[in-house]
Chain A
Amino acid sequence: AQSVTQLGSHVSVSEGALVLLRCNYSSSVPPYLFWYVQYPNQGLQLLLKYTSAATLVKGINGFEAEFKKSETSFHLTKPSAHMSDAAEYFCAVSEGSGNTGKLIFGQGTTLQVKP
C-alpha cells in the first residue's frame, strides 16, 4: 500500500526566507503526487500536482516541488516566504485508479512565518 511521510510537523521560517517542506512517499507503481494547503478553518486547496510529466512542478502562490524518484521524495519549496503562507500543508499520493482511486495523505506540516 502507498504511504506518505512528512518530516517535521512544524516548520518556522522568517519572512523572506526559503521555505522547504519535506515529503517522502512509498509506492509500488509510478505515483501521482499532490501538495494541498489548508488555511485556518478552511478546507484543503490544491497547490500543485505531479502526474508524470515534468519532474519540477510549479504551483500557485510561488510554490514548486520536485519529484525525485531515486529519493522517493516530493519536497515543496518557495524561495521567499510571505506572512500569508502561514498554513498547514499536506502531501498526498494517489492510490488505485478508476472508480475506487483515492489519496493517501501525510500527517501535515504547519508552517509558521515570523516577521
Chain B
Amino acid sequence: DVKVTQSSRYLVKRTGEKVFLECVQDMDHENMFWYRQDPGLGLRLIYFSYDVKMKEKGDIPEGYSVSREKKERFSLILESASTNQTSMYLCASRSWGSYNEQFFGPGTRLTVL
C-alpha cells in the first residue's frame, strides 16, 4: 500500500512565524501535491512538484513556498503565517501514467493565532 505521511496532525502557530509542513511518500512517486481544504471551498491546489527540485504553482500559491530536495519529501513553507492561513493542509502523491490517481496523507490541521 502507498503510504503518505505528514509530520503533524495538529499544529498551532502564531502570526508571523515561519511554518514548515512536511510530507513523505514511500512509493517512489514522481508527483507530489499540496492542497488546502476549507469548508464550502473543497480542495484548492497550492503547489505541485513533478520531479526533484521542480515545482509549479497551483491555484492559490500566494503566501506559500515549497521545497523538494528529495523525491520522497515535499515541504510546504509559510514564510510568515497569517490567521487566514488557518486551514486543513493535505499532501498527495501520484505516479506518472496512473490516470492521475492521487494518494493522500492524513492532513495537518493548522491554526494560526
Give B contacts to A, CB under 8 Å: 4, 9, 30-31, 33, 40-43, 45, 48, 50-51, 56, 90, 92, 94, 96-97, 99-107, 109
Which residues A11-32 have CB closer than 8 A to chain B?
Answer: 32
Q: Quick check: is A72 within 8 A (CB to CB) of the other chain?
A: no
Q: Quick check: is A115 within 8 A (CB to CB) of the other chain?
A: no
Question: Would A45 and B104 be within 8 Å (CB), given that A90-B43, A99-B51 are in contact?
Answer: yes
Q: What CA separation (Å) do A19 and B40 show in the bound complex?
A: 21
Flag if B104 contacts A44 (CB, 8 Å). yes
- B106: A residues at CB distance < 8 A: 42-43
Chain A 50-66 near chain B by CB (<8 Å), digits 1 or 0: 01000000000000000
3 nearest A-B pairs in the assembled complex, by CB-CB distance: A43-B104, A94-B100, A99-B50
- A42: B residues at CB distance < 8 A: 106-107
- B107: A residues at CB distance < 8 A: 41-43
Interface size on A, residues (CB 8 A): 27
Question: Would A101 and B100 be within 8 Å (CB), given that A9-B40, A106-B42, A107-B40 are in contact?
Answer: yes
Flag if A32 contacts B104 (CB, 8 Å). no
Flag if A102 contacts B33 (CB, 8 Å). yes
- B103: A residues at CB distance < 8 A: 46
Q: Quick check: is A97 within 8 A (CB to CB) of the other chain?
A: yes
Q: What CA separation (Å) do A82 and B94 show in the bound complex?
A: 31
How close is B103's CB to chain A, nearest CB, in angstroms? 8
Q: What CA separation (Å) do A101 and B107 show in the bound complex?
A: 22
Flag if B100 contacts A90 (CB, 8 Å). no
Which residues A64-89 have CB closer than 8 A to chain B?
Answer: none
Residue of B4, B30, B102 near A103 (CB, 8 A) is: B102
Between-chain CB contacts (< 8 Å), 20 pairs: A41-B9, A43-B106, A44-B90, A44-B102, A44-B104, A49-B99, A90-B43, A94-B99, A95-B100, A97-B100, A98-B96, A99-B30, A99-B50, A99-B96, A101-B94, A101-B96, A102-B48, A102-B100, A103-B100, A108-B42
